[in-house]
Amino acid sequence: MPNTVRWAVVGSGGIARRRTIPEGIIPADNAELVCVYDVDRKVNVEVAREFGAEPLGSLDEVLKADIDAVYVATPAYVHHEQVLACADAGKHVLCEKPLGMTVEQAREMLQAAQNAGVLLGTALMMRFHSQHQEALRLIREGRLGTLVYARTQLSCWYPPITGAWRQESDKGGGGALMDMGGHCIDLLEMFLGRVSRVSCFINNTVHDYQTEDSATAMLFFENGAMATVDTFFCIPDASSKNVLELYGSRGSIIAKGTIGQGTAERMTAYLEQDNSDYDAQQARRSDNGLVLEPEPVNTYRAEIEQFSRAILERKTFADSAQLGLRNQIVLAACYESARTATVIPVPAA
Ligand SMILES: NC(=O)c1ccc[n+]([C@@H]2O[C@H](COP(=O)([O-])OP(=O)(O)OC[C@H]3O[C@@H](n4cnc5c(N)ncnc54)[C@H](O)[C@@H]3O)[C@@H](O)[C@H]2O)c1
């Protein structure tokens, strides 16, 4: 049985070149980069040379090559057609988030993968962050008590740029909320369970492009917990600390910067020692939290190794495809809420 998955990368010039190839595919224990394809010919050749891969001239050529899996890292508006083509060709496919631009597209991608008997994954790599996994462990152990409230923040400065696909509605599918808020929503559903209804605002507060540069969403969860997502394309990078806050009846976990592309940031848990001696009048203890420092994990390597393992172990379907679809369902409800200025129920599936 082979112990290495042979990978192709489509759309190799962006996040693939910066992160997923050098930090994920190349160092992964069970992956090998075979070929790359990018519509930008110069970039295509450069990336191939940089990482010792073969530069191919089209998606068709990629799908005829001797590969097992394709990592689709093209802009959101290309995901649907490319994932369908990969599935048709019998190739496993890991698609960057968001999984297409709409719920319908995501459903069709899942269906195509299922019909073809190939694995489909969504690259929601922030789940793999070791501090997020540590927070999840504490939550599952009940150390936070009843989950009450969470906040996820992911913002950056993204000025108008001619031709930038994230700034055009029919290419990005949305702005800050679709691009970055999706990660926040996905993490919240990992920590708190399923969202049942949402209320959301979007706006163009600073930048005058088609997609929103500002979004806040309030989420209500099936278990009664609540959360907010705040995500902006119009806050300077250095000003946004990308906080994660998780509150329960017995404690909290507060982090800065774990939501993002890095591997280790500051995360502190503030846990009640014992609820039996809990004194509601007690002054809030300051700075005596538990600093959470699990072994750092590179999130890009983790996602590639997990997907490769699933292929090698011949699993039939990857649940990160479901996560990608679920993400689209919650995002669609948020956009609907913003459009209608109403609270929108989120269907279970
Ligand atoms: N998880 C993360 O950390 C993360 C970070 C950034 C981007 N992303 C996701 O990755 C995807 C790409 O984003 P990006 O920032 O790298 O975009 P980008 O525009 O920087 O790069 C996309 C690349 O795809 C190429 N391309 C465009 N159309 C193509 C086509 N039809 N066939 C082949 N190549 C094509 C472009 O030439 C470019 O090199 C998006 O879905 C985005 O949401 C994920």
Per-residue pLDDT tens digits for 49-94: 999 999 999 999 999 999 999 999 999 999 999 999 999 999 999 9
- The dihedral of CA 165, 213, 226, 131: what is its sign? positive
Given a contact cutoff of 8 angstroms between Cβ atoms, the answer to whether 212 and 174 are in contact is yes
Q: Does residue 29 sit in the same domain as residue 133?
A: no
Residue 11 three-state SS: coil
Give the distance (Å) from ligand 1 centre to CA of residue 286: 43
What is the b/e burial string over 295-323, where b = at least 16 CB atoms within 10 angstroms of the residue's CB? eebbbbbbbbbbbbbbbbeeeebbebbbb
Q: Does residue 324 form part of some domain?
A: no
Residue-by-residue DSSP string for 114-139: HHHT--EEEE-GGGG-HHHHHHHHHH
Q: How far apart are CA 93 and CA 63, in angstroms?
A: 11
Instruction: Read off the CATH number of the domain in which 83 is found.
Output: 3.40.50.720
Q: Does residue 112 sit in the same domain as residue 163?
A: no
Q: How far apart are CA 7 and CA 24, in angstroms?
A: 11
Q: Does residue 192 form part of some domain?
A: yes
The finding on whether 15 has its CB within 6 A of some atom of ligand 1 is yes
Residue-wise pLDDT for 303-349, tens only, equals: 999 999 999 998 766 679 999 999 999 999 999 999 999 999 999 87
The finding on whether 329 has its CB within 6 A of some atom of ligand 1 is no
The finding on whether 11 has its CB within 6 A of some atom of ligand 1 is yes
Residue-by-residue DSSP string for 71-110: EE-S-HHHHHHHHHHHHHTT-EEEEESSSSSSHHHHHHHH
- Write down the pLDDT at residue 316: 67
Q: Does residue 61 sit in the same domain as residue 187?
A: no
Q: Does residue 13 form part of some domain?
A: yes
Q: What is the mean pLDDT of residues 130-146?
A: 96
- Write down the pLDDT at residue 287: 62
Given a contact cutoff of 8 angstroms between Cβ atoms, the answer to whether 269 and 138 are in contact is yes
Q: Does residue 322 form part of some domain?
A: no
Residue-wise pLDDT for 43-55, tens only, equals: 999 999 999 999 9
Q: Does residue 31 sit in the same domain as residue 149?
A: no
Q: Does residue 93 sit in the same domain as residue 218?
A: no
Q: Does residue 37 sit in the same domain as residue 95?
A: yes
Instruction: Read off the CATH number of the domain in which 257 is found.
Output: 3.30.360.10
Q: What count of other Cβ atoms lies within 10 Å of the Cβ of residue 100? A: 27
* Consecutive H or E run containing 187: helix 182-192
Give the type of residue at 99: L
Give the distance (Å) from ligand 1 centre to CA of residue 253: 33
Q: How far apart are CA 143 and CA 311, in angstroms?
A: 35
Give the distance (Å) from ligand 1 centre to CA of residue 14: 5
Q: Does residue 115 sit in the same domain as residue 169?
A: no
Q: Does residue 211 sit in the same domain as residue 272?
A: yes
Residue 51's domain spans which residues? 5-126+300-316
Structural domain tally of the chain? 2
- Write down the pLDDT at residue 317: 65
Question: 209 pLDDT exceeds 80?
Answer: yes
- Write down the pLDDT at residue 27: 98
Q: What is the pTM of this model?
A: 0.95
Candidates 10, 12, 15: which one to mutate for ligand 1, based on the most atoms within 8 Å of Cβ? 15
The finding on whether 75 has its CB within 6 A of some atom of ligand 1 is yes
The finding on whether 10 has its CB within 6 A of some atom of ligand 1 is yes
User: What is the overall mean pLDDT for the chain?
Assistant: 94
Residue pointed to by tokens 């099936």: 222
Name residues whose C-beta falls within 8 Å of residue 103's C-beta, 6 or more positions apart in sequence: 325, 328, 329, 332
Q: How far apart are CA 123 and CA 95, in angstroms?
A: 6
Q: Does residue 82 sit in the same domain as residue 116?
A: yes
